[in-house]
Structure 1
Amino acid sequence: MLRAWRAPPLARARAGAARGWARPAASEAAAESREDSRYRDTVLLPRSRFPAQLPGRLQPETELKTQQILKDITNRFHVMRGYKVHYVPGWDCHGLPIELKALSEVKGAETLSPMEIRQRARAFAERAIEKQKSAFIRWGVMADWENCYLTFDPKYEANQLKVFYKMYDKGLIYRDYKPVYWSPSTKTALAEAELEYNEQHISRSVYVKFPLLKSPPKLTSVIATGQRFILAADRVESTAAVLDAQFEVISTCKGADLADGSCAHPTIPGRVSPLLPANHVTMTKGTGLVHTAPAHGMEDYSVASHHQLPTDCLVDESGYFTEAAGPELKNKNVLEEGNEAVIKMLQAAGSLLKEEKYVHSYPYDWRTKKPMIIRASKQWFVNTADVKAAAQDALKKVKVIPTSAVNRMLEMLDRRTFWCISRQRCWGVPIPAFYQKSTGDCLINSETITDVIKIVEQQGTDAWWALPIEQLLSKEAVAKAGGRDVSDYVKGQDVLDIWFDSGTSWAHVLEGAEQRADTYLEGKDQLGGWFQSSLLTSVATRKKAPYKTLVVHGFTLGEKGEKMSKSVGNVVDPDVVINGGEDHTKDPPYGADVLRWWVAESNVFTEVLIGPVVLNAARDDINKLRNTLRFMLGNVEGFNPETDSIPPAEMYIVDQYMLHLLHEYGSKVTEAYNQYDYSKVVRLLQAFCSKSLSNFYFSMIKDRLYCEEAKDPKRRSCQTVLAEALDIVVRSFAPILPHLAEEVFQYIPYKKEGVFRTGWINASSAWKKPGTEEAIEGACAMRDSFLGSISGKNALEYEVIIVIEPGLLFELMEALQAEETSSVSQLNEIMMASQTTLLSEFPKETPSDANIVKGTFLINLEDEE
């Protein structure tokens, strides 16, 4: 068998030729008697009360007994490594979802005052927080649960207002009249992050004639007589097909030639519609010319603003046409009967050429699941165009896991020119602006904001609605702004966007103005939400990102890859996973560690699946791990590391080799945790327990453990390794399986403190001995050849004779067996045979029933460093 090993330059040994055979052992009866029950009392069998498995009903109960100081995986790892972790749990408490949920419980909610709405929303949030807090504690999340931050805490709100004013003072926040995404179902503006898109939305599409009023000079002679259509040249054939008509091209011109032309409005007499160039018109659909609604489209507004056209809004907050739209449309819903009314008006005017249904992607309110509209209104904006370049530069210095996520976030920032931060609700932090009654001019300056912040720090933002304006706005501030009397002003009614609300959490949680969080961890939807709003507010006010590392995870899907939905009823409830459902035969209790194991072993950077099959597999994995732990616990009974340990230099070489592997395992696991690669931690753990421990080491040391005297150094040698292995393995999975880790430590006879109080893996660098690998790996290669030649048979029934040419390989084997033949040597322990004979030349006679195996083993002693 050929094996390659790294070695120092010029220290390479040639392959040693090895021959061997195996024959039935003369001591076969003695080998069998070793397992005879009559001799059971003469061997030292493992003893431990640690259960190999816990019945489902006992799993949650046992976990509750072990809960003392528990935390999430990342925090546990760093705490065990000796770091002081500043982790304060927090809740986003404001926002439309909470307000709507609270109001859904009340009849006649539309009659409630702002303060009544706020009180109900706050009470709902507080109930939800207590419920979620209990769940997090039950899942094994360790935190300072008595000192959480809540976004409706007065200090949090005051810090948020300070960030707002800093950005306002720098000119990065302004108020303007612009089209924004508007939700008629909730009567408020929404940010893009609060939208979801319905790919099957059906709109009414129309082809309409706009009669030409003023002909562009170059077209005057062409369209003087008869009905003519102006179309984009690339859209002639497709438009003719849609209209079921035949067109003859009589002349062509450039788009620029249409300048200075104008058309009559198809339904409003006397209204003139100018022909204007616009970059957003494409050739993929339509005619190449589109109508423009300046107050109801982002691009339309830009074109109208450039040409100084009116941008009046004809739609109210509920999505109905206003009186300015005319008597035929007034009070009609623009998405429903209003559409139908417009189409009938076009038909009556003889302007409608075609009406059809158009299936396309359309924005919906993410909470009400109802369509949005675009509507111009006075709103507050962050001018992200002025800060996004600095934000992108700061983001490039952040470590993002997975790395693919950083490009997505950079692209999102690149597309974002402004951010609408005002909402027309009352459950939130108010935008601290006052407005002059007669002019509508906004009053906000350092004096007004300082006064408001002082009040908010003491009373919270309820004061904005509860106190009269005279207690919020001082005469001095009004006078300094050039005003005459406080009574000339009114309080603003807008609140800040919840992404601004949560995006300023760094200002409250970080202890110092210059501090950055080590890690922000959230789902991939937050690339356009919390991750981005936190970055923008921090860069705008501090010129730095609020975080050093971003960890971006995917979403949880059903076992068949389906999206979870409460309406469908396929949401997996973590509490049911842990404690079981009403019917334990249908929904058995798995305990929190199974849930945590599933999280850790999943590739959380993509979508992950959950269901009975996945959870059962996770439970089986943990039970296999428990068996490995139980073997080690059972065999350290009566062993005290402080008095009974054997120094590595005096150990069996295979024991030294296991210490070497333990050091290697500890290093790899630590690095995986540092990279937030918890699925790799699980893979390393499973491979080490299965291959290195159970299949390799445990199978070889049983004779020493069971048959030597209790205090024999040979037995103490492997017990020393087992104690170290048990300690390192438990610490390696403790951040993931905290309950199991604490449970194991309760069964270790010589441990006094819990696993989370005593630090991380402590693998001595002295254990790292690459030289032991050649001896053990060489012996194992020959052992594998031997076992392969007697497949399915008991190795103890055979004697093994190994013949190796004189050289380094022979010397390594001699280190494992000094005498020529032995049944108790380290080499024989590895071979797992009745006895092993080591020779440097082939004997003259070979048994007739021998199985002869030939092979080579390459030794390369190149230094691993």
Structure 2
Amino acid sequence: MPHVSATMLVIWRRVSLCSIPAVRTRTCVRWQTHTVSVVGKRHASSKKYSDTVLLPKTTFPIRPKNPAAEEVEIQKVCGFSELYSWQRQQDRQKDFILHDGPPYANGDPHVGHTLNKILKDMINRYKLLRGYRVDYRPGWDCHGLPIELKALSAGRDNFRHLQPLQIRNKAKQFAEKAIRSQVDAFRRWGVMADWDNGCYFTFDKQYEAKQLEVFYEMYEKGYIYQDFKPVFYSPSSRTALAEAELEYKEDHISHAVYTKFPLATLSPGLKDVVGGRQNISVLTWTTLPWTIPANEAMCYTPSHDYSLCQCKTTGQLYILASECVESTAQVLSTHLDVLNTFPGITLEGSTCQHPTIHGKVSPLLPAHHVSMAKGTGLVHTAPAHGMEDYSVALAFQLPVFTIVDEDGKYTDQAGPDLQGKNIFSDGNETVVEQLRSAGNLVHEQDYRHSYPYDWRTKKPVFIRASLQWFVNTNSIKDRAVDLLDGVRMYPEGTAASSLKAWVSTRNYWCISRQRVWGVPIPVFYHRQSGKPLLTKESVDHVVSLVRSQGTDCWWTLPMEELLPADVIRKAGHTDVSEFEKGADILDIWFDSGVSWAAVLEDSGGVADMYLEGKDQHGGWFQSSLLTSVAVKDSTPYRSVFVHGFAMAEDGTKMSKSLGNVVDPNLVVSGGKNRDKHPAYGADVLRWWVAGSDVHSHVYIGTNILNTARDSVLKVRRILRFLLGNLSGFRPEDAVLYHQLRPVDQYMLHVLYQYAQKVTDAYENYHFTKVQYLTLGLVTKELSSFYLNITKDRLYCDDQTSLGRRGCQTVQFHILDVLTKTLAPVLPHLAEEIYLHHTCLGEVQSVFKSGWFETDPGWHRPDLEPLWRVAEDVRDAFNRQIESANPRLYDVAIFASSTVYDMLNVLQSEETSCTSDLCEMMMSSFVSLHPEDHPENSPISGTKQTLSKVSQHECVMSGPDGSKELATFTLHVSPASHQKCERCRKYVAESPTTPCDRCLAVMADSWAT
């Protein structure tokens, strides 16, 4: 290259001679000289080639230094707290109502809250981007035993001495504190809502008033009634429980017994069977010996056979089901000789003696609930302490006496030996001793089995008959199950079948609780008769008081104000002193179950979606459905989304004792020891949710969080690269589609397909698929393909060249689609992109810009066969070269006609260093020839020595779906040119002179 002075720069431009016949393009060039003035203080000799390379420029950091602090700042700058109110003010044609199931206000936020709230927020943010006006009011279940027990836990020994208002005040303060803690966490996780003015609470006056209105409407329609019947009762909580408030301990150990009930009178048929034998007993087995003092009958199955047996060890005579003889003998470690076998109906009319109460006789009665799977096929029946037992009592008019009080202790009706003793400890042992003393204890054993526990106190419950209020779900459930067919369930199939199973097997719902922290059942009882006074006038009056004063009025106001004289007169009475107010409160599932009436009034009591954990099949999903069907004969939801539970990453349940509890706030903000507890930020937590199989168990732990963080950083690096490449680009610089190069058009086709698939995934709430598709686009289509092969064009072409602008146009669309795809899951990252996006002009929130738009014209399936072939050729080339740097090589492709015709679209000239094909191969030069070209034949000399020749096959797809094999041959040789110090490709004629492309670019950019 000629000498360059301080004031003049000589630029050499290569001029193609490809139009001259018989002249090779790659090697035959001539040079023209252009003289350019150098302006400015800096001398040309001090300027570097790298100064003219258009490297990515952006202020977007490659990784956040302090994710927690930076996300908080992004929330402030980008108006996270105002976004919900802003979108509610927009005039939009579509509304999306996601009704928030109220979490308990009974403690600090945990990963269950994280999973639930982030799932809801991802859906809401997606709907907002799609043009919906989102209706989402976060709520809290503020009443009930969970809160009451925690509020009183510090003084548990003395809480029974507190007055109701003292308990209610403590519980309310505890709930309010828990709500504040949870709100702070939900805000920090980026959950979009009006946290200051748009939440609902079940202890709000208006909510409580609406709840009582629903209660009376159901009562008036006959769905609510009062009855004396067995219910699950928790002595540790001193209240009745619904089935949804139970959990079953699988390894509970009961002191089980085999007991004999001596026959007192024999039916005529049974007399024929025994044939004059004496001292015969029916044999029964129970895991609840404490219920034997309440026995009123012995049940059998008429359709099964029974046997008269003799114990080989003792000689005693027993009657038991024929199917159970062998298994019973094994338990008793003896042999039972079968003396006679007879149908169960033969037992009808017989009676037996009570095993512990002298002179009491129990009838033998037929029943369908008797099982042959365990025991003896004869079931001892205590109507006050069993659901099926109670049904038998109703059918045969047996007495129902409760001999156990609210503390689980025997009353005086159980007799002096049992009075005051606990049924789970010394009371149970005393009954066993009574059986032994009476000679009726045949065998005793410790029996491990599943047993119901109070899910709050983790203590065992028992069944106890008492006067309670019930919803007659038996008259609602069939209609409710039918209506569920019109509800979209996620996941499909299992969610619907599970909810239907819960509803269809529920015959009644106990809604009264013996506590004070909750909404009182607005009933008054006549002191003499015990009959309830519950009229429209009495309830309307109480509702008006609650609406103005809250439910504390039930305890603060005198009876004269709760039950005015005019209300009493309309009920046919004259004196308020004849009545006393009820002491029961409504079940909290009733509290939350009527939220559709209290919160969704503007939408007719219907939400587009309910989204909660799978435990709500027996809870909120069900209670909402039953109350809604009872009142308005419709479901309260159009769709139901069910998620699983958070588990430790090793598959175990989280517990403090195991030390595997994950604190979401610690995950987001980090701990004092950042090595042990790094600050991941809220977006990593959200990415974890999106990547989890949310309908099953959701696992979380350090390894899983680290993987989530690494994935977010991987996506972040691609976004940063895109932002940097778009420096100086404006939307008006975009290149028209028909002017784009084939590789650019193909990338838009890939982007179009991705956009369609990811939108469909969002529409069906398949967040794992959203993540999978996005990571695939980032790692495969962008990082390993398009962004990699187009670097040379972006960095080294002229800034305004059509090729570079075309690449920027594509990357502009990629960034738009990718940012908005990520926004519902990673809102902090998406907003940060917008803060650094120089192409947008005035900065605005990504959530105010709408969903991405992709041109249907980008959809070009016809390009796919071309790029499959091109990829096959590139892969073969990469396998053949020895270096990881393909620029060190030139490659000549000799292709069969079908392959040649395709590749010719990517490279029209015979040899090129800038074609789409060369860009794809990333080599220095690519030559494309038909397979019968002379140079594809074996030759001798230096060229053959330097080249590596290999033959390959690829599969060609026809338009009709047919497949055929096509061939191509690669001649790979070391680069024949010198390295260009500007573009780093081996395309220069001299090691001291840039290539002609770079010289042409520098003709404009070198001057300063």
CA deviation vs aligned residue, 1:476-514 (integer Å, no higher than 9, x gap): 332232223222111111111111111111112213363
More displaced, 186-195 or 789-798?
789-798
Give yes or no for contact 1:785–1:853 (8 Å, CA) kept in 2. no
2:179 to 125, 129, 151: 129
Evaluate the alpha carbon distance shift between residue 303 and residue 721 of structure 1 in structure 2; reply closer, same or farther with a 3 A threshold.
Answer: same
Q: RCO (CA 8 Å, sep 6+): is it higher in 1 or 2?
A: 1
Evaluate the alpha carbon distance shift between residue 667 and residue 246 of structure 1 in structure 2; reply closer, same or farther with a 3 A threshold.
Answer: closer
The Cα of 1:117 is off from its aligned counterpart by 0.7
Q: Distance in 2 between matches of 1:324 and 1:349?
A: 20
Describe the SS at the equivalent of 1:851: strand
Corresponding position of 2:846: 755
Corresponding position of 1:771: 862
Q: Which amino acid aligns with 1:623?
A: L
In angstroms, what is the RMSD of aligned CA positions?
Answer: 2.0
1:586 aligned onto 2:676: yes
1:145 aligned onto 2:236: no
Describe the SS at the equivalent of 1:197: strand
Structure 2: tracts of 5 or more residues without a match: 1-25, 29-46, 82-117, 281-317, 937-942, 962-1008
Give yes or no for contact 1:430–1:494 (8 Å, CA) kept in 2. yes
Q: Which amino acid aligns with 1:789?
A: Q
CA deviation vs aligned residue, 1:40-95 (integer Å, no higher than 9, x gap): 2231111222121223xx01011111113278111010011110000000001111
Q: Distance in 1 between matches of 2:689 and 2:174?
A: 29
Give yes or no for contact 1:240–1:247 (8 Å, CA) kept in 2. yes
Which has more radius of gyration?
2
The Cα of 1:325 is off from its aligned counterpart by 1.0
Describe the SS at the equivalent of 1:75: helix
Q: Distance in 1 between matches of 2:948 and 2:324?
A: 88
Q: Which amino acid aligns with 2:845?
A: G
1:220 aligned onto 2:271: yes
Give yes or no for contact 2:370–2:377 (8 Å, CA) kept in 1. yes
Q: Which amino acid aligns with 1:75?
A: N
More displaced, 831-840 or 182-191?
831-840
The Cα of 1:225 is off from its aligned counterpart by 4.3
CA deviation vs aligned residue, 1:514-535 (integer Å, no higher than 9, x gap): 3421111111111111111111
TM-score by length of structure 2 reads 0.80
Q: Distance in 1 between matches of 2:566 and 2:126?
A: 55
TM-score by length of structure 1 reads 0.92
1:339 aligned onto 2:463: no
Q: Which amino acid aligns with 2:152?
A: L
Corresponding position of 2:529: 439
Corresponding position of 1:43: 53
Corresponding position of 1:489: 579
Corresponding position of 2:95: none
Q: Distance in 2 between matches of 1:273 and 1:233?
A: 22
Q: Distance in 1 between matches of 2:753 and 2:377?
A: 67
Structure 1: tracts of 5 or more residues without a match: 1-24, 28-36
More displaced, 315-324 or 816-825?
816-825
CA deviation vs aligned residue, 1:519-575 (integer Å, no higher than 9, x gap): 111111111111111111111111111111111111111121110123433210000
Evaluate the alpha carbon distance shift between residue 242 and residue 803 of structure 1 in structure 2; reply closer, same or farther with a 3 A threshold.
Answer: closer
Q: Distance in 2 between matches of 1:242 and 1:648?
A: 84
Corresponding position of 2:153: 104
1:69 to 58, 66, 80: 80
Q: Which amino acid aligns with 2:781?
A: S
Alignment of 1:410-429 (within 5 A): 410-429=500-519
Q: Which amino acid aligns with 1:69?
A: F
CA deviation vs aligned residue, 1:228-260 (integer Å, no higher than 9, x gap): 322222223333343344443333322111111
The Cα of 1:841 is off from its aligned counterpart by 5.1
1:317 aligned onto 2:317: no
CA deviation vs aligned residue, 1:825-853 (integer Å, no higher than 9, x gap): 22222222222223345222345124233
Corresponding position of 2:887: 796
Corresponding position of 1:190: 241
Q: Distance in 2 between matches of 1:340 and 1:261?
A: 30
Describe the SS at the equivalent of 1:776: helix
1:167 to 218, 231, 254: 218
Q: Distance in 2 between matches of 1:509 and 1:239?
A: 57
Give yes or no for contact 2:262–2:279 (8 Å, CA) kept in 1. no
Corresponding position of 1:54: 64
Q: Distance in 2 between matches of 1:515 and 1:165?
A: 17
Q: Distance in 2 between matches of 1:294 and 1:850?
A: 92
Give yes or no for contact 2:865–2:956 (8 Å, CA) kept in 1. no
Corresponding position of 2:365: 276
Q: Distance in 1 between matches of 2:327 and 2:890?
A: 88
Give yes or no for contact 2:263–2:279 (8 Å, CA) kept in 1. no
1:235 to 293, 301, 324: 324
1:201 aligned onto 2:252: yes
Compare the two structures and name the one with the higher strand fraction. 2
Percent identity reads 51
1:302 to 391, 411, 422: 391
Evaluate the alpha carbon distance shift between residue 82 and residue 862 of structure 1 in structure 2; reply closer, same or farther with a 3 A threshold.
Answer: farther
1:785 aligned onto 2:876: yes
Q: Distance in 2 between matches of 1:802 and 1:513?
A: 67
Corresponding position of 2:702: 612
2:599 to 509, 516, 522: 509
Corresponding position of 1:81: 130
Q: Distance in 1 between matches of 2:371 and 2:594?
A: 40
More displaced, 762-771 or 366-375?
762-771
The Cα of 1:285 is off from its aligned counterpart by 2.4
Evaluate the alpha carbon distance shift between residue 852 and residue 290 of structure 1 in structure 2; reply closer, same or farther with a 3 A threshold.
Answer: closer
The count of residues paired between Structure 1 and Structure 2 equals: 826
Give yes or no for contact 1:260–1:275 (8 Å, CA) kept in 2. yes
1:93 aligned onto 2:104: no
More displaced, 113-122 or 512-521?
512-521
1:726 to 815, 818, 823: 815
More displaced, 523-532 or 471-480?
471-480
Corresponding position of 1:250: 339
The Cα of 1:334 is off from its aligned counterpart by 1.0
More displaced, 561-570 or 338-347?
561-570
2:800 to 678, 694, 711: 711
The Cα of 1:793 is off from its aligned counterpart by 4.5
Q: Distance in 2 between matches of 1:223 and 1:158?
A: 70
The Cα of 1:127 is off from its aligned counterpart by 0.3
2:956 to 854, 858, 862: 858
Give yes or no for contact 1:632–1:726 (8 Å, CA) kept in 2. yes
1:666 aligned onto 2:755: yes
The Cα of 1:125 is off from its aligned counterpart by 0.2
Q: Which amino acid aligns with 1:579?
A: S
Q: Which amino acid aligns with 2:137?
A: V
Q: Distance in 2 between matches of 1:513 and 1:722?
A: 43
The Cα of 1:292 is off from its aligned counterpart by 1.2
Describe the SS at the equivalent of 1:605: coil
Evaluate the alpha carbon distance shift between residue 356 and residue 702 of structure 1 in structure 2; reply closer, same or farther with a 3 A threshold.
Answer: same
Alignment of 1:623-638 (within 5 A): 623-638=713-728
The Cα of 1:601 is off from its aligned counterpart by 0.4
2:730 to 634, 640, 653: 640
1:401 aligned onto 2:411: no
CA deviation vs aligned residue, 1:177-225 (integer Å, no higher than 9, x gap): 1100000111101111111111111112122222222111123352644
1:544 aligned onto 2:634: yes
Give yes or no for contact 1:88–1:143 (8 Å, CA) kept in 2. yes
